[in-house]
Amino acid sequence: MLIELALDGPTELVAFAREENLPDLRTGDDAVASADAFPELSFEARVARVAPVVNPAQGTVEIRFAVPKPPMYLRADMTISINVEVARRDGALVIPVETVRDLGSSAPWVVVALDGRAIRRPVRVGIVGDREVEILDGVAEGERLLPLPIEPGQRVRVALTDGSAVDATSRNR
């Protein structure tokens, strides 16, 4: 007979975040988690502990998340994706992260469709997420942003149905 023992007590998740994320993580921050086996389902979690040391070999820090209402499907050693809300702004202007070029640099920019041409436009970014970027300056709501491989100076005609251009939109971010 094989017996597997599990500790009794509150459910928690353990994750290893890159050390460059440390400035954004605080005990008590809300998070949303989902198991890779059930990606359409999510559950609440909260940052319970940020380890005081960084693993020098991997450049990561251990983060423990409390799960106040664990879902029935949650099992030990599952692969879990966790998104921590580190900031929120109501009415933020956001665009897809893939439309911002040189995002990690001191001079990020986008390509905007203007009068039949692709125009390079410098932007000032705020909150950067995995999928969206808050734009503080440089793009107005409703402007058409062009994806790669379109380069500044090219002649463009934006078709509303092809899905290649995106509009800058205001949302809670």
What domains does the chain contain, in order, with CATH numbers? 12-84 (2.40.30.170), 92-171 (2.40.420.20)
What integer pLDDT is reported at residue 41 of this predicted model? 94
Task: Tell whether pTM > 0.75.
Answer: no
Q: Looking at residue 28, what is its pLDDT?
A: 94
pLDDT of 108 reads 97
CA–CA distances in Å: residue 134 to residues 64, 78, 89, 96: 28, 32, 9, 9
Regions in the chain scoring below 50 on pLDDT? 173
